[in-house]
Amino acid sequence: MNAAPREPGGRRRVDIRCKSYPTIQVDGQPVALKLKRGLALLVYLDELARKVARTQLAETLWPDAPPDTARARLRRLCHEVNGVLGLDLVEGDADALWLDTTECSVQSDVARVRQSAQQLLGTPNEARSHETLEHLLASDSHRVLDGFELDSDVFSAWQDVRRSEQERLVARALSRAAEHLCASGQPALAAEAAARLIALDALADMGHAALLTARSQLGDAAGVEAAYFACAEVLRNELGIRPSANIETTYADARAQLAVRPEQRTTRPSLSPPIRFADSADGSVAYLELGSGDTTLVILFGLWSHLEVSWEEPRIRAILDRLSRSMRVVLVDRRGTGLSDRINQQQSARAGVEDIDAVRRALGVEQVWLLGNSVGGAIAIEYASVFPTRVQGLMLYGTGARGTWAPDYPWALTEQQQKKWLHELQSSWGGATSLAQFAPSMVDDQATRDWWARMLRQSASKNGIPLLLRALGGTDVCARLPALQVPTLVLQRKDDLIVREGAGRYLASHIPGAQFVLLEGIDHPLWYGDTSAALDEMERFVQAHRQVS
């Protein structure tokens, strides 16, 4: 059999198929690479798409071997892999290895799905591309190394995270595709995307909503009823809850649409702006962008964050809309939460700094204003300390400098209180956990309870919560405060139960020249309570420092 034509210019082509047990082709011909660690090495390097330290690779492939032995095995493995492939694909220096694509191209079926998903999330019109949709609608689109196992706990842990991330990314893209296809009058494709999403995630609120809308646009009354009651049953069986307010509204809209003549039916517009992704060293950071202007404001919410679910909350949309009238507003999900990658599970202020800078570079701006709420405020402080020339000003709302109690910082939870909170979160996962502490004024509002529960479920997983709380407990930017050199506004609600008044006053007294404003109110999230008072202060502060500069 003749080899398939090479790439234009005579470049070799390497195909890595790694949705299931990995196989390799070179110029269209299968390569009999029987070394499991060789396959693992190629997939790992291709997925990370950067230089990887030899030490990290050795520990990943041979975690139980002595370091010198593991590094020697890695050197032999690289030689054997290149020999079987018939080209020097795995290149390196004394410290790191990488895939050398100067004389060949490397294509991966998993990467192709990921690229299609990210294109669609950034540009909803990609939903009209049959090729993009086909990649996502395939029954194995969410799979990574299915059926492949290596005798390495470190590699297995990476596999588990990578599989979870691919599944989440495909689910998000299918959600966006279904939403856009409904809005653009393509209900048959929308129904297919929604059904595939529900097959991936039976609790996907957007999947059920899109399926209801698509069925009503198709005039399928029986399909609408079947979709609604299937959704209600799975929520009752899995979580013991009723469909969300969003589902109930969509169901009512669907039935109302079926009651009018086909030519009079309307489509629901796509609600959320495009989600974009900025590349950092260890994964992609999701953000959405509104407004325009010379001033760019990057917003980081607290422990919980999910761009699409945030957009569903009218109060959050109102905040973003108001701020975007005078600024370019960017809302970010930190890695490990919401729509951002969870490949690298580290949660720290330093990782948050990398996320902000990745977004700044993607936006193409030299300087930004930062608005940090709660944990997001600590990350903003860290960023302004590391990159002072890239920050025009800081606005810190409901922010603490430490995540754990200390004799000189009595406003944070003790380690014992943190353990108790973790137990409460995990034992009541799926419900409106901690709403009474975060937003006491909203605790009896059922729509808010439903939305809050959905935000928690979508922001992180039940088993991912310990990582978030561990990061919160380890937060400490106290030493950064005296050296801050940027205009800083500290906003604090008087009776906030999550971040106490003393924590806000501590920030303001330790940051040179900081302005402190104490607001009335009991709710921790910015979007509940008297939001206007906080926004008034922010807009005045930005305007004042615009004039100074």
Residue 131 has pLDDT above 60, yes or no: yes
Tokens of 521: 């109110």
Biggest alpha carbon–alpha carbon distance for the chain: 78
What percentage of the chain reaches a pLDDT higher than 90? 52
Q: Containing H/E element for 77?
A: helix 67-85
Report the candidate in 435, 424, 419, 427 with the shortest Cα–Cα distance to residue 498: 435
Beta partners for residue 476, in sequence order: 402
* Extents of the domains making up the chain: 8-108, 109-264, 283-402+477-548
Would you state the CATH architecture of domain 109-264?
Answer: Alpha Horseshoe (1.25)
pLDDT of residue 152: 94
pLDDT average, residue stretch 255-267: 65
Whether residue 524 has pLDDT greater than 50: yes
Mean pLDDT of 334-345: 70
Identify the three-state secondary structure at position 276: strand
- Read off the pLDDT band of 348 (50, 70, 90): low
Q: Given this model, what pLDDT does residue 280 score?
A: 75
Q: Are 278 and 339 in contact (CB under 8 A)?
A: no
Q: What is the average per-residue pLDDT within 506-512?
A: 96
Lowest-confidence pick of 35-39, 225-229, 284-288: 284-288
Mean pLDDT of 441-469: 82
**What rounded mean pLDDT belongs to the chain?**
87
Residue 253 has pLDDT above 60, yes or no: yes
Domain 8-108 coded CATH 1.20.1260.10: no
pLDDT digit string, tens, across residues 165-219: 899 889 888 988 888 888 888 888 889 899 999 999 898 888 999 999 999 988 8
Instruction: Check pLDDT > 60 for residue 405.
Output: yes
pLDDT over 80 at 429, yes or no? no
Residues in the chain: 549
The whole-angstrom separation of Cα 158 and Cα 32 is: 25
For residue 7, what pLDDT band results from cuts at 50, 70 and 90? Answer: low
- pLDDT tens for 373-404 read 988 999 999 999 999 999 999 999 999 999 88
pLDDT at 463 over 80: no
- Is the confidence at residue 444, as pLDDT, over 70? yes
Instruction: Count CB-CB contacts under 10 A for residue 485.
Output: 13
pLDDT over 70 (residue 248): yes
Here the tokens at position 494 are 């008087």
pLDDT for residue 265 is more than 70: no
Asked whether residue 266 carries a pLDDT value surpassing 60, the answer given is no
- pLDDT band, residue 74 (cuts 50/70/90): very high
Residue 9 has pLDDT above 70, yes or no: no
CATH no. for 283-402+477-548? 3.40.50.1820
Question: What local confidence, expressed as pLDDT, does residue 525 receive?
Answer: 93
Q: How large is the average pLDDT for residues 420-433?
A: 81
Among 233-242, 341-350, 414-423, the least confident range? 341-350
Residue 110, pLDDT score: 94
pLDDT > 60? residue 127: no
* Pick from 14-28, 75-89, 255-269, 464-478: least confident: 255-269
CA distance 12 to 105: 6
* Under 8 Å between Cβ of 163 and 169: no
